[in-house]
Structure formats: structure tokens, C-alpha cells
Amino acid sequence: MDSILDGDVQTVFENKDLVDSSTIVDQDRIYGRDEQLAAEARAFRDTLDGERPPDLLLYGPSGTGKTLTVKAVANKVKERAQESGIEFDFVAVNFKTMESHTLDRAVWKLGHQTARKAGVVWDVPRSGVSTDMKYTRLYEIVDDHFDSLVFILDEIDALTGSTGADEPAYSRLLYSLSRVMSEQHVDTQLSTVVVTNYPKFRENLDSRTDSSYNPNGIHFSDYDANELIEILERRRDAFKDDALEDGVIEIVAAYGAQNEGDARRAIDLLRDAGEIANRAGDPVVTQDHVRSANDSVVKNRVLEIVGGMSVQKKLSLYAAALVAKENEGAAPSPVVYDIYKILCEGSDMKIYTQETVNSHINKAGTYGVLESERVSGGFKSGVHLVFKFTEPVGAVLDTLSEDERLQEIPSKELGEVVKRRLRD
């Protein structure tokens, strides 16, 4: 124990921060995003001229460099601004990680993060104070401490607000922030960078917001395996010399490519493989360490998502996974509902409506297990949903099967039923 606490432990890492996906890295470590970096730099250049940068909308799949690039550019602009005597900074908030996705909590979080950047105390309680009061204190801090400020609003589509609201919370937030200067709440040059995996979130904007919020869009596409190799090579110095076995970066990149070109996951996987090597006392990270890390990551991620679901939600998701397994990862909702009813009958469980089952499955979508889209035609049902899994279907089924209430499900026999339903 003493040797561990004293740091007398062999490690494969030289600078572990470089394989922490949250680390803001220099632009020379960013690969395959020259066009996006240039567009962001052009936008932020206005700050150095004393003008307000345009609002930006960065959109594309997870792990494609949206947040990474904009933070790198903002960090560089901050250095240049300081040299010119301009008080510029950026405040980044990821709304998906908040425990409550309401407007009130979002404004409180923005205020809290802005106060930290300003070096002042955020003296506003989370509850017992109106949202307007939170806005007022936020604007006071902005006006008192910054010449120019950019809010980086990450995963903004998670900011849904209260059930039954006329518009999502993110619509009201964007409306307020887009008008903060015109309504003379602040003299600070204030702009927003919205980061999202789902550009269609704009379809739910209130008409007032849609009119006043007009960002410049910048698209980020998936990375392929070769691009991921280049990205990981730029992090090789996170490890000691000769601490990576030949082929390790390539196999990590291959796993990343399977996860829709997600560089963030690939970087995290490389770090996890290093940590497994450390725990084993091995001086070199091997391909076996990578495979072990990947198996653990997939299982833990899925377990975290589905472990706390109610049995009805698990049955709904299990049905969708069974269908997807036989249909290349896609599960049409009418077929899913047929399988769900069979599962309920076999488990002596109450059968809910298809609308409820679809809602249960879509809930898993908010955690990144799957996505859904509405299609028309086929399956004799007109317009229906198709669920497409973004996590390995086998891992979802294995994790759900750990629930003793689902362990007796005859998956093989049901697979044949699924095939017949898909052919009908």
C-alpha cells in the first residue's frame, strides 16, 4: 500500500492527460478537421477586431471533433486576445450530464461556470430563486468581467425541459441568449456555439427563436479507420517509448471505426488498455489489453444504461434487440411489438400499447443505445418507427439477460419467429 501511495508503481504512461478525451489539445494534434478549424477560426477572428463573432452550429455524429476543435480554437483566440488587452473567454456546458434538463437548471449551470471563469463567487442557490433572477446575475457577471464571451452549448438537444411544455427548454434558452445584446442586458460581445449530434433539433424551435437565432453551420463527418490511426498517432507520446506493441493503435482504430468513427471512444479505449496493462504490471500495452478494454467498455456502458430500467422497459428493449439481431441492427416497430407481446405472454406480464412500448424503447435512445426514425410503407402498417442500435446488439441482449426475470426467454426460438415476421 505504501509503495502505491508513494507512486512507486510501474506505468506505461508518460503523459496520461493526452489520452483523456476532455483535454484541450493544440491544433497540431487534431487531424482531418482543417476545414472545420479554418471556419471556426474565421468566425472567432471577429473577437480580435472588437466585433461579435457569429453564432455557430457544429453538427455531426458523436466523437467527430466538434467540441475538441472549437475549444482548441477558442483557447488560441484567448491567448491572442490577452496579448491585445481584450478580456475574452469561453464557457462550455454539456447539458446531457446535468441531473435535470430544465431551463432553470441550465441557466444556473451557465451562471456557475461563467462565475468560475470570471473568478467570482456564484452566489445564487439552485432553488428558491426565479429563473429571471438567475439570468440577471449571469448577465451582471458577463458585463462586469468580459469584453467578449462565447457560450459553448454542448449536447443542447438534451435540454428538453418539463413534459408537456409548449417548446423545448433549449428553444427558450437560445431565444434569450440570441437577444441578450439587442435588449441591452449586456455590453459584452456575446455569442453562442451550439454542439449537437442531431441538427434536426432546429425543427422544434419556437418561431420567435427560429427568427432570431441564425447560426453559421459547420458539419463534421465520421472518421474512418485510417483517420483514427492518424489521430491516435498524435497521442502516442502519452505513453513511454516502446510501451505500445505493434498493431495496438491499428486495432484501437478498428474498434473506433466500428463505433461510427468515434474518436473520443477510440482515445478512451487506448487509455483504458494502458490502465489494464498497468494493473497487470505489464510494461507494454498489447492487443490483448485492447480487446479486454473494449469488452469491458461495451459491457459497462450498456449495463449502466439498461441496469436500472423497469422490467417493462427491459422487455420492450429486449424485443427490439431480438428483431435487430436478425435484421442487420434495424428493428421495425410493428415487428418489435409482436415480439414484445409474445415475451409478455410467456412471462405472465401485462401487455401495454404499442405507443407505450415505442416510448420505452425511445427512452433507451436518449442514453445512446439506439436511434429511431419514422418511415412509411411496409409491414402493412403505414408510417412506423424503425429502431437502429448504436451499441452492439449482442451486448444489449447479454446485459438484459442478467435480469433473472428475463433469463428463461427462448431467444433461439424467438429468432425464428422474428425471421417469419420480417418476411411477412
**Grid coordinates of 123:** 452566489
- Confirm whether residue 340 is marked as ligand binding: no
| Planar angle of CA 13, 19, 25, nearest 5 degrees | 120
194-231 burial by CB neighbour count: b if 16+ within 10 A, else e? bbbbeeebbeebbeebeebbebeebebebbebebbbeb
- Confirm whether residue 223 is marked as ligand binding: yes
Q: Residue 37 is which amino acid? A: L
**Grid coordinates of 22:** 476532455
**Grid coordinates of 351:** 401487455
- Confirm whether residue 235 is marked as ligand binding: yes
Whole-Å CA distances, 56 to 200, 205, 208, 213, 217: 15, 16, 18, 10, 6
- Confirm whether residue 269 is marked as ligand binding: no
Order of strands across the sheet with 189-196? 88-94, 148-154, 189-196, 56-59, 216-219
- Confirm whether residue 65 is marked as ligand binding: yes
**From the annotation, which residues make up the binding site?**
64-68, 223, 235
**From the annotation, which residues make up the binding site for ATP?**
64-68, 223, 235
